[in-house]
Structures are given as C-alpha cells and as structure tokens.
Structure 1
Amino acid sequence: METRTPLKSLNSDTRTYVIFINKSSRRARAWWLDFKGKPVSYGDISPNGTLRMNTFLTHPWVFRVTENGAKLLANRQEVYYPTLSENKDIITVNITTPVYSLRECCLMVIRRLVKRRDLNRLEIPEMLKHDLVTVPDLSKELEIMNS
C-alpha cells in the first residue's frame, strides 16, 4: 500500500530557494500550505511575473488563477514540493495552465459572462446550474486530496 505525503508543511529543516515564474496568461495566486494544511496566500504573480521564495523541502505549494480559483500547475504538478538546490542555486518553478476539460472551460466562461443572479434563468439542466454556482474552493479541494 502506498503512503501519501500529507498536504501540509512538516518541518523547516532543509532550506531551498525557488523562483516561481508565471507562464500562464492569468494572474496566479501562490498558496503555501502551513503546518496544519491550511492555505496561506503569498500574493499574486502577474503573467510572466516572478515570485522569489526562501522555502523548505517539506513545504507544499499550490497555485490558482486569482480571478476564479481555477487550478494551475507548478512544474506540471498540482502540488509542488520544493527540491534541494545544489550550490545554493535558485530552482526555477514554472506555473502553467493545465488542459482543462471542455466542461470546465464552459463553466468558467459562463461564470464570467453571466451574473450569478441570472444563472437560474438559463435553460440548462439543474445539475449544470448547481455546478455554475459552486465555484472552486481551495480548502475543500485540499480536504478531498487529503482523504
């Protein structure tokens, strides 16, 4: 049976240095997961912008689109665990957009174009209306990933 690494910071023993580079076309919010697994915002990174960070090997990071909470990837991973930098070199971490499903893309576009109060007026299945009012929630996503 495979043991999972808990989605929280474990210790601050081994320091490492990273630079997060936002390669997506959207503002990216950087979230550090604290020692209880709670997300702590480290601010937004503009498209093509950077965030330099002194962090530790057991400190996980996640990234979301600032405007809508959609997932972003860090070095192609949903959760980024820093690696050891050799010779105190800074490790480059690329923040990119994943390939969203057609459904996810449509939900994002409709949320952007239709006011929340008008969603019930749409002639679409109730299940889709429910999905439209249920916006991404990082804390809930982390709970699911930890279970």
Structure 2
Amino acid sequence: MMLTIYDDTLRSKESIDPAILLISNRTKRPVDILWINYAAKLIRYKTLRSGDEFQMNTFKTHPWIFRDYYTGLLMHVDHKEVFWPEASTDKRPIQHVRIHFPVQSLKTISLWACVQKVRNHNEITQMEIPQTLRNDLQTLFRQFYNHHVMLAQHAQRRQQQHRNQ
C-alpha cells in the first residue's frame, strides 16, 4: 500500500561500477536522500530542499530511496520507490535523477490527511470507520510516528556533535 519500500533482502552489493548522479528535487517539499547499505539499513545521506540539485558519486549496485522530510512518504524517481543507478559511461557520464511526488489515490491522500491530525494510536481505534481503513490508518500512523522518532534522534545526534566540537 503506502510505504511498502522494501524488505531486508534489498541491500547494496559490491562497489564495482561507479555512477555519477545529478539529483534534482522536483517536489515542493524537502526530501531525504537515503542509501540502503550492505546490511539493508537506511543511511541518511543528505536532505535536499525543494528545487535544489546535488551531484554525488555512488555505484550501480547501490539502491537509494527518497522520502519526504516531514512525513516520511516515499517520493519516486521514474514512478518507482527504489532507485538503482546506471553505471557511468563515456557517452553518459552523469545520470540525471528527478525526484517527484508519487501519484496517489484519493484514499491514500485522505489517510495521510487523517494521520497528520491523529495524536495517538487510541484515537484511531475509537474511529467509527471500516476496519480495513482503521488498519491502513494504524499502519500509516506507525510509519509516520517512527519517522518522527528517527528525526528526533537525528537532531539529538547533531546537537551532541556540536557540543563535542
């Protein structure tokens, strides 16, 4: 459904074929660039503001995802959630990567609007809506909440690094 992303079999492999990327954020939101490392863990590489571009080096066998900084919603490249670079060649030294907002159903848009207004899990269980919608909303709420926990942890690490300097 919404934030399907991947399972733990999706991971970076050998670093043999280099790729140079020019990443463009075509959304109206800041987007996190996340590398899926060799252990299938997400590593935040950079946050790209709306309209900004960024050039980076990577490898053909390294998958990347792009998430809305505020909500954690997966953005797309060529209408796909996971981006796999192509190896750089003499004819195509730089690959242009254009991040765009995914096409969403009215149901998904509505669920996102609801989850941003819900304060806790109990509010969802008390809603008088069909159980399937309640389940979808609970799943999305957990993902939204976990994303915000990750943002808070990231901010704490940055503050700690500044204090240690």
TM over 0.5: yes
User: Residue in 2 aligned with 1:51?
Assistant: 54
Is 1:82–2:85 an aligned residue pair? yes
User: Residue in 1 aligned with 2:29?
Assistant: 26
Whichever residue aligns with residue 56 of structure 2, its letter is M
Whichever residue aligns with residue 101 of structure 1, its letter is S
Greater relative contact order: 1 or 2 (C-alpha under 8 angstroms, separation 6 or more)? 1
Q: 1:7 aligns with which of 5, 10, 13?
A: 10
Q: TM-score, normalised by structure 1?
A: 0.77
Give unpaired runs (5+ residues) of structure 1.
Answer: 1-5, 139-147
Is 1:109–2:113 an aligned residue pair? yes
More divergent stretch after superposition (117-126 vs 54-63): 117-126
Whichever residue aligns with residue 43 of structure 1, its letter is K
Whichever residue aligns with residue 103 of structure 1, its letter is K
User: Residue in 2 aligned with 1:130?
Assistant: 135
Q: TM-score, normalised by structure 2?
A: 0.70
Deviation at 1:16, TM superposition (A): 1.3
Q: What percent of counterpart residues are identical?
A: 29
Is 1:96–2:96 an aligned residue pair? no
Cα distance in 2 between the residues matched to 1:47 and 1:104: 22
- Alpha-carbon RMSD: 2.3
State the aligned residue count: 133
